[in-house]
Amino acid sequence: MQINIDILPAYAFVYMLIFARVGTMIMLMPALGETSFPTRMRLVFALALSYVLFPLVSTEFPGVPSDFGSILRILTAELAVGFMIGLITRFIIACLQIAGTTIAFQVGLGFAQNVDPTQGVQGALFASFLSMLGITLIFVTDMHYLLIGAIRDSYILFRPGVAPPLADAVRLAVETFAGTFRVGIQISAPFIAFGLIFYLGLGVLSRLMPQIQIFFLAMPANIMLGFLLLALLLSSMMMWYLDHVGTSIDPFLVK
């Protein structure tokens, strides 16, 4: 029996291109590409997912070019598609960072900071809590399958070997980034209103009783009321966030 190995270079070329796009997206996507996940686990997952996608999308790739310049151009196009989709979806989790930081300052805990395991940088305690809760809910509600579906459907929306249109990519990135700030402020809106009313009342009391340190005495009450408001609104806030996640990923899914 003879084994034909002439097709191996073509298979290796296609697999390399699939891994370039899939690996780039996984390294940037929320939930799947968090820094708290070991790099080796993400690498193994990217290799395994590329292997699963190989029989589904391999026929859509062009043949092996005869010159290195064409190979580099196709590889760059795949990396650009993966970077675009991964970066845009990465903006999804940023809305909880904005909401958590805003809430922390409104309830007087802006100084309480720790290392956010999802971002690898120091941030407000509320922001770290909301980010971890958001990632957990993505897995609990099976919304991570939408991210995997976006990886598969990207080969339908963006033909392999062709760079994404720059103008459309920039427009979508700007719209998603603006939506991140909008949703972050909407999630924290009750706390902004609470802060305005609370500090306005303290300002009036301070004018009526200037001999008493009103702001110093009222700080524990501000923190306590902030935690109480968070307990009452947390479920609604996260439902709003999950709806934002589904809406943001929807453009990358083929109906």
Assigned domain for 71 exists = yes
**pTM score, whole prediction:** 0.78
* CA–CA dist 103, 189 (Å, integer): 9
Assigned domain for 1 exists = no
Assigned domain for 78 exists = yes
* CA–CA dist 118, 92 (Å, integer): 13
Which residue segment(s) compose the domain that 87 sits in? 8-252
Structure tokens at 115: 């290392």
Residue 192, Cβ density class (10 Å: 0-12 exposed, 13-18 middle, ≥19 buried):
middle
Give pLDDT tens digits along the chain (255 positions). 455 556 667 788 888 888 888 888 888 877 666 666 777 888 888 888 888 888 888 888 777 777 788 888 888 888 888 888 888 888 877 888 888 888 888 887 777 666 666 565 666 788 888 888 888 888 888 888 888 888 888 888 888 877 777 787 788 888 888 888 888 888 888 999 988 888 888 888 777 777 777 777 778 888 888 889 888 988 888 888 888 888 888 888 876
Alpha-carbon distances of 254 from 40, 141, 160, rounded to whole Å: 30, 20, 16
Assigned domain for 2 exists = no
Q: Is the CB of residue 36 less than 8 Å from the CB of residue 117?
A: yes
Assigned domain for 3 exists = no
Assigned domain for 124 exists = yes
- Number of folded domains that form the chain: 1
